[in-house]
Structure formats: C-alpha cells, structure tokens
Structure 1
C-alpha cells in the first residue's frame, strides 16, 4: 500500500507528463494529422506506464531493502531507457500511428517525467532517520541522576 508521500510523488510526475503528452498530441495532430496525434498519445501512455511501474518498484525497494536502493535505481532507469529504445525500434515501421510523433513524444515525455520526478523528490519532506516512538521515551530519565 503506497503512502501519501509515494502517491503524491507519483501524481507530481504523472500530471506534468500527461500535460506534455497532450501538448505533443496537439502539435503532432497539426503536423502529421490524426495518426500523429495517436502516435503522441501512445508514446505518452507507454512512458507513464513504464516509468510509473518503475517508481512503484523503486519505492517498494526503498522501504523493504534500503541497502539496494541506489543499485536498483540505476539498474531500473537503465532498463527503462533500453525498453523505450526497443519500443521505438519495434514501432518504427508501423502504420497504426506516426512513428516519428511516437518517438519524439516518447523522448519528450521521458525527459518531462525525469525532471518532474527530480522536482517532486526535491520538494518532498522525507525523513532521513526514523524517529523513535514517544512511548519508548516515557520510561527514560533525562539529565544527571543523583
């Protein structure tokens, strides 16, 4: 179950990415017609899906295996970028939508996602240490005992 911070971070990355995708769809629609707009929408959805899954995996790793967080993050982002390149290569000759609009939107949406995620993380109030419960301190004595 994601915490409110996790949900807020996800929301703060999805909304700007979706907005960038909507702008890309309008521009692609004007430049390349309906297939261009469709390519932009599909590109945006692919980025939101893959990057969203990645952020959920990374947040769960941070909670359960914090010692693996950095390595997992590097591996995850590298894998995501490689998968996105595979998508561009796989759909380069498609006739379902405009592949150039798809590829351009995929790159732009990925950049917006990463920037929004960095901003969300910078603005988040994340504790670096876990505070002790106040109940544990009730029995402790403070100050010098004489």
Structure 2
C-alpha cells in the first residue's frame, strides 16, 4: 500500500472511530446495553466494508488503471448490496437495538465519505509523473534508435 493510500485510510478511519465512540455512548444512554451493541455493530460494519473497498480500489488503480472507474462503481454496488443483506438478516433481531444500529450506520457512513472526500482533496497526488533529475540535466535527450537496435 502506498503512503498516500495508507494516509487516506487513516484519515477516514479515525473520524469514523470517533463518531463510533460518540454513537455508542449516546446509544447506551438512550437505549441501554442493547443500544450500545447496536451502535458498535453499525460502526464496525461500516468501517470494515469501507476500508476493504478502499483497499481493493487502490490496488485496482495501481495494477489496472483502465478499470478504476468501473471497479469504483462495482464496489459501490457491492457495498450497497452487502449492507442491504445485513439489514435484511438483522431486521427482526433482538440481539441489539435496531434503531441505534441504523443511526450509527448512517452517521458512520456519512463521516467516512466526508473524510474520504476531504482526504482526496487534500492529497497532493501527481497527475503527470515529473521528469527524473538525470533526464533534466541531460536536456531530456532520449535515444531515438528503433527498438531492438543498439543505441
């Protein structure tokens, strides 16, 4: 993982974890222990899904840059479907408070997306690779010999 990718992941995970702590505290006060469990489950679910998708997207961009946009859309659909499946499975659960789960899921998602947008806007990623120092000193002269012939 490149340093800017790790930085993006960190800049997304830290605010989401902070929101998770607040969500667990508020949910435990308002809904008791089951509320705290629901809030924690919601934040952990969002953090895991978003982090895995960010890592997969960054690796795809590195190996197959031509697939970056298509992979981004595919991962968005996978996120959506995975969250929908989890919501359907735990719709009538008594393990945790579903309202606390839903609100923490929403809050964590909004914070993660906002932090990711901010991180990408602040990142100083080159769109064009700058010339190497030795190429600049030699005047940028490159060999114009045909491929396979000695230069």
Task: Give TM-score scaled by structure 1 length.
Answer: 0.89
RMSD across aligned positions (CA): 1.5
Q: Kindly report which structure 2 residues correspond to 1:114-133, keeping only aligned pairs within 5 A, or say none.
A: 114-133=113-132
- Equivalenced residue count is 141
Partner in structure 1 of residue 105 of structure 2: 106
Q: Kindly report which structure 2 residues correspond to 1:1-146, keeping only aligned pairs within 5 A, or say none.
A: 2-140=1-139
Post-superposition offset of 1:9: 0.4
> Structure 1 residues 89-98 or 48-57, which shifts more?
89-98
Change in CA separation of 1:11 and 1:141 when aligned onto 2, cut-off 3 Å = closer
Partner in structure 1 of residue 149 of structure 2: none
Change in CA separation of 1:30 and 1:141 when aligned onto 2, cut-off 3 Å = closer
Task: Provide the rounded CA distance (Å) in 2 between the counterparts of 1:34 and 1:99.
Answer: 12
Task: Give TM-score scaled by structure 2 length.
Answer: 0.87
Task: Provide the rounded CA distance (Å) in 1 between the counterparts of 2:113 and 2:96.
Answer: 25
Say whether the 8 Å CA contact 1:13–1:113 is kept in structure 2: yes
